[in-house]
Every structure is written in structure tokens, then in C-alpha cells.
Structure 1
Amino acid sequence: MLRRPVLLLTALAGATAVLVAGCAPQDEAGGAAAASTGGSATTTASCSPADLKTLKPGVFTVATSKPAYEPWFSEDDPSNGKGYESAVAYAVAEQLGYSQDQVTWTVADFNAAIAPGPKDFDVDINQFSITDERKQAVDFSTPYYDVAQAVVTESTSPAASVTDLAGLQGLRLGAQVGTTSYTAITDQIKPSQQPSVFNTNDDAVAALKNGQVDAIVVDLPTAFYMAAAQLDAGKVVGQLQTPSGGPTDTFGMVLDKGSPLTACVSRAVDTLREDGTLAELQQQWLDEAAQAPVLK
């Protein structure tokens, strides 16, 4: 049964009221979230629809790419509230005081969304890893998901029997262009040959099926979806972690550079993290993610 985030509003209302009157959101290191994510320094404005300077007054415009993939979305329909990122987007909107009817969805290309220049959305939610380079061009909310990168292949590939990073280094690997998945290949796996680059993950899957690459790197939940739904005999080889054992990436919502909404959106995300809503939604939509072995 679909559990839309609107059902969570009553339980979260008290926390929202406190946050509206509170100070700037804090990141995990205790700094101001707006500053740490490249956002506006304004922290005193009211976080209510009447005061928020959205693209269209009284409307919260959320973007993602098309197709919208599982498990982040469902049925290629971001507006149905199914899938982790769809659910998070509605939960954030509810925190800000917008009803479901006041949320509208639009399509934005992944790379265009993080390029400099004006945006035709208030926020974009599309598995954007927060990086210092991207923060030069856009704002990010505080993180709504800590994620590891993962290696996915087919059972007939030489990558299927790999159990460590060294076993991947001599293989043909690939990832979507401009992503932290590609960076994970070059910086963590360090293969002996140049990784292949693809315009989309669908192109990467096609290359894997055709034998052009031995394995591809994507975020962990996407790897499970590919293995189960897009590959004939898919296998998640394992996940990558930082030297300290933590996740390799954090996902944040993208906003226009200097957006007046950044601080309020970050407050909403922080509330959802602190009251357990994000953890609940992760368990509902991303519960397979902890099951992949760690590649060292």
C-alpha cells in the first residue's frame, strides 16, 4: 500500500514549528548547512508558502529526469509518491507547508540541472552526489541519503567472481558521464585501462549486455534494481566504501545557486532525518542496500 508522506505531517508538525523559529540548519560536522552546501546565508526568513520565493507563488516545483528509475521512483511517475526520492520530495514539501496538490513535477536533464545558470525548478531530486565542484555552480540541501557506489555485472562476466578491488583492476569498467560513479572507478578501483563513459545508465546496461564492458558502477540501490530488472542474470558484485568504512557519497537536492529556498529546504530535510522519517522511508524503499558485500 502506498504510504504518501502527507500521512506523516501530523506527527512532524511540532518539529516543524520549532524549526521555523530556530537557527540555521547544521550539517553533520556542526557547521551551518547553507554554508556547507553552497546555499544562501539567509537563515531568518519564515519557511512557509506565504514567504517562500518559489518559482510560482504557492507552488513547489520539483524536477527529476525522465525516465525516472526505480527504486527512487516507481512506474516512471514521480508524482505518485512511490519510490524513495518521490516520497522524500513530498515529505519535504509537507514540511514546508505545501499540500500534495501544490507540488508540481517537471523534467530536467541530469547534467543541465547541475550546470550554472537559472533553473526552471525549485528543487531537483535525482541522486545528485554533493561535491565541492558542483557546489561552485548550484546549491545543495543537506543530505537526504548516505550512499555507497556499487559494482554490478552479469553472471557470465569475469567480474561475477571478483571479491576485492584488485580483482576489478584488470577488467573493462564503465559508468555514466559526469557522475561520482565514474570518479569511484578512477579514484578507488584504479583500473589498468581507461573506463568507458556513457550518456545514461541505460546505455551502460546495454554495453554490459553486449559485452563491451565487464561491469558498471552505479549507486547501490540502482545496482540492485539493474540486477533484478534490467539484466538477464544480473549480480551485484559488491559495494565501495571510504577508507574509514563510511558511505562514498551523500545525496542532496539541487537548487539554483544562491536560492532563497536552500536554508528552508535543508531545515525540512534535517527534521525528516532527526525524527526518523528518512530512515523509515529508506527501509520501505531501499531495504536491500545493506546486503551487498564490501569490496576492499
Structure 2
Amino acid sequence: MRPATLLFAAGLASLMVAAAGCAPADETTAPAASAGSTSGAACAPAQLKTVAAGKLTIGTDDPVYPPWFTDNKPDNGQGFEGAVAAAVATKLGYAKDQVAWTRVTFNNAIAPGPKAFDFDINEFSITDERKQAVDFSAPYYDVTQAVIALKSSKIAGAKTLADLKGAKLGAQVGTTSYRAITEVVKPGAQPAVYNNNDDAKQALQNGQIDGLVVDLPTAFYITSAEIDAATIVGQLPQPSGTPEQFGLVLDKGSPLTGCVSQAVDALRADGTLQRLQQQWLSTTQGAPTLT
């Protein structure tokens, strides 16, 4: 996706309600706080062991896209994840000038090994497999996956998963969108894999794939603001009864995990997460679930 303008984001905001749902396998419910979970003064900036003393370093990819961020500027506090990150920083006691951003690719952020960030926000679904390499905060968003296609595509009118069995589908590498194809749709053709959604969207427009799988808010943005000839075919059902949830990624065993989870839980309890969903994320109306 190309970054949205603030004007467009503001226009969409009045029409949006939270997208909620469930999707691919291996997602978990909210993770338990780490053994280092603390509260009160112990979670104040002076006590937190951050990568840069006195600062909170937040990671995300480059580029980042609406509706999660705007203008590829994660530090402006715009877009759902930009606003969530800013709210978490504030809840932890960091002023704006005490927050630094660093760019880390999706796959590197969830790979084993020391991190150059305190937490990373980039639509990371919480999975048991990923939890072997990194920590996750409490979840900040429940999401579903969706299929988009050109209106002229043979799958544009699909009503069931069976209607997608003969389709060539694509998704970004390493994402639960890709896993939704292999574990939920299970098409006859091997899915196409792309380094990022820009490459995947180009393949869709070029007719190299019949459909593209992305999270639902992204699907709404692509079809409403980027590819006029595209439509949302439908949402994909969850396989196990557990919703797919996004969490902030931290270093494995990070001493910050408990405090960051506590901040996320507080933002949910005071209604901030719900308000940000209503402001930035698209409605699920018009996106039936494929069964």
C-alpha cells in the first residue's frame, strides 16, 4: 500500500468501526505476563531497562501502511498501530521526545536473538511457534483475514471456501495471511509468496494471482483507496475457535514484557483501544465470511 494522507484517514475515521473476528491457526489467547510482571513505580521509566537509557525504542517495518500508520511516519502517532504505540509509551510514562523509532523487517523482528528495540509493533499475530523466539505483550487487537480479488476475477463472486480451491492465491511471506491460505483455504495450487504487500498487489493487478489474502482492515483500505478494480471476496473463517490476535513483540525474556502488557491491559480497560479501533479501522460490513 502507498501511505494514506491524513486527510483521507480523517475522512475514513467517521465511517469506521472496529474490525473484529478470528482467523488462521496457532493463534493464542492473551499471553500470561512474564515472571517479571510488575506494577506501579517498578514500571516507571527510571526503573525500566530499555535499550537506550531514559528512552523507549519502538520498532516497525519500512515501509508501513494505512490504516496501521499514515505517511510511512510511525512517529506521528497516526493510524491504528501508530496511535497504539504512542498510547503505550504514554501509559509507561514516556514523553514524546523520549520515544525513538527504529526500522526492522517483519521477519527479523520475530527471529531469535537480541533486539535493537524495546518493543516492535507491526501486525504480529501471537502464535505458539513465534513465542519460542520472542515475547509477546497482551493482545491489543483481534483480527480476521480476508481475500481480495479484481472484480473481473473468476473468484470475485466466490461464496464458499470450495469456490477458492482452484484459485491461485498470494500473500506476504511469513504472515498469518499466508498460513490462512495453506491451513484454511487449502487451494490446489501452491500459494504465491511476496516480500511485501506492494509486490503482492502488483501481482494481483497484473493477473499473476487470482486473489490476495491480507488482514481485513488492510483489505478495506486496498479496495477503497488503492485498487478501484478490486473487491473484498470475503473473510476467512477461523479454524479452531481462538481469535487471531496482534501483540507487541519483545526480546525473549525481556524484563519489559510484564510492564508493557500491563500498559496494554490498562488501555483496553479504559476504553482507549476500542476508541482507536473506531477511529482508524474499517467496518466489517460488506465482507461476508466464506464457509
TM-score range, shorter chain: 0.7 to 0.9
- Number of matched residues? 264
Residue of 31, 38, 41 corresponding to 2:35: 41
Where do residues 40-189 of structure 1 align in structure 2 (5 Å cutoff)?
40-44=34-38, 46-189=42-185
Q: Shift in Å at residue 287 of structure 1?
A: 3.2
- 1:210 counterpart = 2:206: yes
1:229-288 CA-partner distances (Å, limit 9, x unpaired): 3323111111112256664x1100001111000000000001111221101100000032
- Cα pair distance change 1:139/1:277, threshold 3 Å: same
Q: Shift in Å at residue 291 of structure 1?
A: 4.4
Tell me the TM-score normalized by structure 2. 0.86
Contact map agreement 1:151 1:218 (CA 8 A) in 2: yes
SS at match of 1:292: coil
- Cα pair distance change 1:246/1:152, threshold 3 Å: farther
Contact map agreement 2:37 2:257 (CA 8 A) in 1: no
Contact map agreement 1:174 1:197 (CA 8 A) in 2: yes
1:51-103 CA-partner distances (Å, limit 9, x unpaired): 00011111111111111100000111111111000000011011111111211
SS at match of 2:128: coil
Aligned counterparts of 1:246 and 1:160: Cα–Cα separation in 2: 28
- 1:261 counterpart = 2:261: no
Q: Shift in Å at residue 192 of structure 1?
A: 1.1
- Structure 2 letter corresponding to 1:43: S
Aligned counterparts of 2:195 and 2:121: Cα–Cα separation in 1: 19
Match of 1:11 in 2: none
Residue of 220, 223, 239 corresponding to 2:219: 223
- 1:280 counterpart = 2:252: no
1:178-222 CA-partner distances (Å, limit 9, x unpaired): 111111111111101111111111111111111110001011111
Larger relative CO (CA 8 A, sep 6+): 1 or 2?
A: 2
Aligned counterparts of 1:88 and 1:289: Cα–Cα separation in 2: 21
Percent of paired sites with the same residue: 62
Contact map agreement 2:153 2:210 (CA 8 A) in 1: yes
Match of 1:252 in 2: 247
Output the aligned Cα RMSD.
Answer: 1.8
* Structure 1 gap ranges (5+): 3-26, 35-39
Tell me the TM-score normalized by structure 1. 0.85
* Structure 2 gap ranges (5+): 1-5, 8-27
SS at match of 1:226: helix
